[in-house]
Structure 1
Amino acid sequence: MRIPFVKMHGLGNDFIVLDARATPLPPLSPPSVRALADRNEGIGCDQVIVLEPDADAACRMRIYNQDGGEVEACGNASRAVGMLLGEPARIMTNSGMINTRPDDSGIAVDMGEPRFEWDAIPLAYAMDTLAMPLGWEELEQPTAVNVGNPHVVFFVEDNDAVLLDQIGPQIEHDELFPERINVNVASIEDRSTIRLRVWERGAGLTRACGTGACATAVAAMRRGLVDREVTVHLPGGPLFITWGEDNRITMTGPATESFRGTFEWGDYA
């Protein structure tokens, strides 16, 4: 059974996209996802994306990190799927409906409304999420926000100086975060510019994280550090984030198709 796929990326955050809208796929197990995502013996990616039919949307998008776990949202994958669809579209995700549309700068995605309540992140116990009274080594007083998936954001003088590959896993797996957490370290350049690096739960260091850019922008806006429209510079490139008066976040940026191919399902089952 040969399965077609599209290899795509958003600012270097790369995906294997499997289209199961017309022809259903066998269930994806965590070992199958890990095998497909393996960069030495598989196709290689940060996330495997499966498109399924949905009665109320152009498709349902399911997102699997390279460790095999399914997650709720992925901003870069949303742009990639929006590019594949090629027209304004509604996409159902595990965190709810999102809307995409072609834009002069790539694909614009309505990411919905952020959540700040401690039990919406979720945290293991109640606390203020604007400046959480705790820290890990030099990283202190993060802001927590859920933008379809959970993030903590640390504001630092120089985010390149943080050993994120070492401290990121500690924070991701801390008992405070029952569903684990994405870890963002950000430096404010000016009122409209942020530099960001992200440790993504289940994937590790990533060149770009769309939901991380959204979470970081909103966290900085809540703290009064930036205006309501910002450019977030990630290692893979920039994303433009706005947080409107209607409380909805819009993310705009590029998506790229790398190549297409097929694989034998039995090789990865």
Structure 2
Amino acid sequence: MSTYKYNGCGNTFVIRDFEDGMNYAEEATVLCSSEQFDTDGLIVVKQNPLEMLLFNRDGSQAPMCGNGIRCFAKYVLDKGLSAENQFAVQTLAGEMTVDILQHEPFYCEVNIGRPDYSNEAFGAADDASYVNRTIYIDGKEITFTSLFMGTVHTVVFVEDAPAMLESDLGEKLCHHPLFAQQTNVNFVQVLNQEELIVRTFERGVGWTLACGTGCSASFVVARDAGLVKDKVTVHLEQGALTISGTEDVYMNGPAVFEYKK
């Protein structure tokens, strides 16, 4: 079976068509390894209806991925799996609507849905509020907000988001006992009311060059705190995404086919 590699703002994936009887959790650990394709995840494509299954580099399954669904959409276009420029994609986080805005270079917009701040949605370990919650890690005070935005996310506002790549705080928050299912951790620097810088420590992956649902979650928390307007540009290490919305959240960004073998 052919394996395809795609890239969404530096977030890389191998993509394969669905095949009955496959252990995709195990397959992900092999295909995504540095000895093989060296990617962040494995995307499995099911048809009739279109459905995206996503497995992280460590074999764990995630409900959704913002960069992944754009790569999925590019694959659908490349393979002619849909004759329309708008189509629905089933995910474990619900149905997502994709609008292909431009074929070359490829850009699409995805309706990510609405945020859910309820503790039940993201596997909170207790009943206390996770909005502007303060805890101590290694004696330092950390304030964060957690929510479900396609998957579980935690947002921490910082003065210098790129500098957090040198910190172990992302890993420690990801594995903190407060998160029964672990959490993706987004460090967010507010540049102005229309621009953010985001760096994400992703559960099952580690530091990643981009996280679409993480950018969406970061926008939502910043918007709800009155720090940004209803549309922002989110700057990543290898590109940028446009995130917008007042109720449903929309993600606009690129995806690139790299190669197949």
After TM superposition, the score normalised by the length of structure 1 is 0.88
- State the one-letter code of the partner of 1:64: F
- For these two proteins, the number of residue pairs brought into alignment is 250
Q: Partners in 1 of 2:235 and 2:45 — Cα distance?
A: 29
Partner of 1:36 in structure 2? 31
Segments of 5+ residues of structure 2 without an aligned counterpart are 78-84
- Equivalent residues of 2:111, 2:248 under 8 A apart: yes
**Structure 1 pair 192–201 and aligned structure 2 pair: CA distance change class (3 A):** same
Worse-matched range after superposition: 143-152 or 189-198: 143-152
Partner of 2:46 in structure 1? 52
- Equivalent residues of 1:18, 1:50 under 8 A apart: yes
Q: Partners in 1 of 2:141 and 2:231 — Cα distance?
A: 26
Output aligned runs, 1:52-71, within 5 Å: 52-54=46-48, 57=49, 59-71=50-62
- Equivalent residues of 2:165, 2:207 under 8 A apart: no
Partner of 1:243 in structure 2? 245
- Equivalent residues of 1:165, 1:204 under 8 A apart: no
* 1:40-60 C-alpha deviation (Å, 9 max, x unpaired): x22221000001134xx3x11
Partner of 1:114 in structure 2? 115
Q: Partners in 2 of 1:135 and 1:155 — Cα distance?
A: 15
- Equivalent residues of 2:11, 2:210 under 8 A apart: yes
- State the one-letter code of the partner of 1:62: L
SS of structure 1 residue aligned to 2:217: helix
- After TM superposition, the runs of 4+ consecutive aligned structure 1 residues lying more than 4 A away are none
**Structure 1 pair 148–25 and aligned structure 2 pair: CA distance change class (3 A):** same
How many Å apart are 1:119 and its aligned residue?
A: 1.8
Output aligned runs, 1:1-269, within 5 Å: 3-20=1-18, 24-39=19-34, 41-54=35-48, 57=49, 59-86=50-77, 87-104=85-102, 106-137=107-138, 138=140, 140-163=142-165, 166-244=168-246, 247-261=247-261
**Structure 1 pair 118–178 and aligned structure 2 pair: CA distance change class (3 A):** same
Q: Partners in 2 of 1:80 and 1:189 — Cα distance?
A: 28
Calculate percent identity across the aligned residue pairs.
29
- Equivalent residues of 2:130, 2:145 under 8 A apart: yes
Q: Partners in 1 of 2:71 and 2:30 — Cα distance?
A: 22
Partner of 2:80 in structure 1? none
Segments of 5+ residues of structure 1 without an aligned counterpart are 262-269
After TM superposition, the score normalised by the length of structure 2 is 0.91
How many Å apart are 1:236 and its aligned residue?
A: 1.8
SS of structure 2 residue aligned to 1:30: helix
RMSD: 1.6
- State the one-letter code of the partner of 1:71: A
How many Å apart are 1:133 and its aligned residue?
A: 2.6
